[in-house]
Structure 1
Amino acid sequence: MSAKQLGILRVQGEKAATFLQGQVSCDMRQVTSTQAALGCTCDLKGRVLSQFIVWSPEAGMYWLILEASLIAELMQDWQKYLPFYAVTLTPETHWQAGIVRAEFPNNAHYYEVTTQNSQSLMINLGPQPYQVLLSLEVSQHNLVPLEIQETQAWLWFTSEHRGRFLPQMLNLQAWGGLNFKKGCYTGQEVVARAQHRGQVKKRLYLMALAEPAQQMYLDVEAQQVANIEVLGCTQQTTDQKYLALVVAPSKLAQAQTPIYGGGHEASWLPMPYDVEQRIDLPAKIPLTA
């Protein structure tokens, strides 16, 4: 599988905000030229079809920054709605997006946009040492692989993940990606019901593996498969172990239940945030010691 990379989908038209408001999980009324937002789209069953950062460079125009493999599929998802809103969808080709290592400034807000110069700007991603860079010359910057953000239990959703998870299973509410007050969007009733009735039994967690594995077991000898899905597995340079980003039952993680991958016991790693927390935007990024 090729390395992940970011792309930009441009949504433009007089009713672009109205169109997006009925399609995405974030509140488009909060998105401006200085404030972006994390959001997702869902199917009728509340399963995530895409995840993105959305920003407005000017009135009537929005950029969705997302893993590049999703652009064509999201355009196809929305094609049937476009005639009703006179909105155009176009992959952005002049500006590019990438991830850079950069600390957020004190008192910054989640997804706050800071202009670097006429050719680049940054979007804060919350309490982690990485930010989204938008630039006309992205190759001139010291970009890091998207997979490195998995160390922060942040997933850049790809086309292979479509239709499999509720947003809360990917911890999107913990990053401010779900607005429960904005009103309807596709899948909203299922997402809200799962949140308010406590029906989300799985979350995104970090595990350490001795070697890559796509199948996890409760008992290797008995071949008892664990109800855990591995979404990413990246080798770490510090100890040569592999960091796995998994969707797993919370009861297994909370109990530190022994799990095996690749014939070796895996380790549950501490999470950099509370997986059940809910961030409501706009919100300031908490300062760390």
Structure 2
Amino acid sequence: MNSNWNDFLAKQGAQDNFEHFGDPAGELAASRSGTIVAPLTDQGVIRATGEETAGFLHNLLTNDINHIPADGARHAGMCTAKGRLIASFLIWREGGDYLLQLSADILPAIHKKLSMYVLRSKVKLLDASNERLLIGIAGPQAEALVSGLGAKPGVAMSSAAFDGGTAVRLDDRRFVLAVAAASAESVWNTLAAAAKPAGLAAWRLAEIAAGQPRVVAATQEAFVPQMINYEIPAVGGVSFHKGCYPGQEIVARTQYLGKVKRRMYRARLDAAFPPGTDVFTPEAGTQHCGALVSVAPSPEGGYECLLVVQSSGMEAGEVHVGTPDGPKASFLPLPYAIE
């Protein structure tokens, strides 16, 4: 956690642990139809460096790391031996280094776990969260603003350097900037002059609208990758054409030996619940059959979420959160099809 950056953001109006900048409703509305700039203070960065880094990560994560081009990016996960996700990453390259963005609440433990695998490999892992500060930009003017910084990312899941950092294009509307600490205030001021400063709630809402999951401490070991749609090309977190990694046998078996029974959907709730909250259907009775992945307030009222549940329960339209008779979820479209 970079205290200078946090102090700067507080002076810009960040409130409630960076959830908003004093205009929660306006920021959420801007997340829908305007352009926002948000400090991603709930996420951090691990820098992996050394001549064997690509192979080291390739052998541990769910996606193909060996073939990330110099200007590419990937989503990837880290699983237990039972195929349960303990982390999700956005990964890009800076020269010969690989940067792994993940939820800040799991970063220390994942950093330690990855380090246990290094052994004699020519790899060094560093917590770079104070070195590279993360800023999100989303909306119709996002591409123009990123270009104004001097970065020219191409298609989705590509990266480009600019003076002071790297820009990663997630999709048509969303970018993540990994900015050198010395340049962060200047970059923020440039972007905030043209985009609406927004907090973490607005950024989570944009993630939910994109159907993009994120593993946090409360959801570690809750899902195999397919449950959070990680293998769907629009999410793109799993490769089935690479070698083994921890949990690979379970992930592959899930893919090839039958339909995935639980999937991630987008939904609306009348009440707020934290990630990891159990989800129920009448078919499953008192046994939970899924969990919340992420939640954000909605500009239309109530809350939006990504949740994992049995597909049969979603199709029946009877999904309850928290308890078997808890608030009912009403489902919203995702921007991609679930096969």
TM-score for both structures, normalised by structure 1:
0.83
* Amino acid across the alignment from 1:123: V
Give the distance between the partners of 1:261 and 1:205, measured in 2 at CA.
Answer: 13
CA 1:235/1:34 → structure 2, altered by over 3 Å: closer, same or farther? same
Alignment of 1:99-110 (within 5 A): 99-102=136-139, 108-110=154-156
In terms of mean alpha carbon deviation, does 255-264 or 164-173 score higher?
A: 255-264
Alignment of 1:1-289 (within 5 A): 5-59=42-96, 61-92=97-128, 93-102=130-139, 108-115=154-161, 117-126=162-171, 129-136=173-180, 137-139=183-185, 140=188, 141=191, 142=197, 144-145=199-200, 146-148=203-205, 149-174=207-232, 175-213=235-273, 214=277, 216-218=279-281, 224=286, 227-237=289-299, 239-253=300-314, 255-261=315-321, 263-276=326-339
Deviation for aligned residue 1:218: 4.1
Residue by residue over 1:196-237, the C-alpha shift from the partner in whole angstroms, topping out at 9 and shown as x without a partner, is 112421111111112224454546xxx856523122232112
Give the distance between the partners of 1:180 and 1:225, measured in 2 at CA.
Answer: 32
Aligned residue in 1 for 2:22? none
Q: Tell me, what secondary structure is at the counterpart of 1:29? A: coil
Hey, which of these two has a bigger chunk of strand by percent? 1
**In the alignment, is the contact (CA less than 8 A) between 1:37 and 1:177 conserved in 2?**
yes
Q: Tell me, what secondary structure is at the counterpart of 2:125? A: strand
Q: Tell me, what secondary structure is at the counterpart of 2:272? A: coil
Deviation for aligned residue 1:275: 2.4
CA 1:233/1:54 → structure 2, altered by over 3 Å: closer, same or farther? closer
* Amino acid across the alignment from 2:112: Q
> For structure 2, which runs of at least 5 residues remain unmatched after alignment?
1-15, 20-40, 144-152, 192-196
* Amino acid across the alignment from 2:261: K
Give the distance between the partners of 2:69 and 2:209, measured in 1 at CA.
Answer: 29
Residue by residue over 1:17-46, the C-alpha shift from the partner in whole angstroms, topping out at 9 and shown as x without a partner, is 121111011111222331111111111111
Residue by residue over 1:164-202, the C-alpha shift from the partner in whole angstroms, topping out at 9 and shown as x without a partner, is 110111111121111100111111111011111124211
Q: Tell me, what secondary structure is at the counterpart of 2:268? A: strand
CA 1:12/1:190 → structure 2, altered by over 3 Å: closer, same or farther? same
**In the alignment, is the contact (CA less than 8 A) between 2:43 and 2:102 conserved in 1?**
yes
**In the alignment, is the contact (CA less than 8 A) between 1:215 and 1:225 conserved in 2?**
no
Q: How many residues align?
A: 268
In terms of mean alpha carbon deviation, does 181-190 or 94-103 score higher?
A: 94-103
Percent identity between matched residues is 24
Aligned residue in 1 for 2:148? none
Give the distance between the partners of 1:267 and 1:245, measured in 2 at CA.
Answer: 11
> For structure 1, which runs of at least 5 residues remain unmatched after alignment?
277-289
Aligned residue in 2 for 1:279? none
In terms of mean alpha carbon deviation, does 243-252 or 76-85 score higher?
A: 76-85
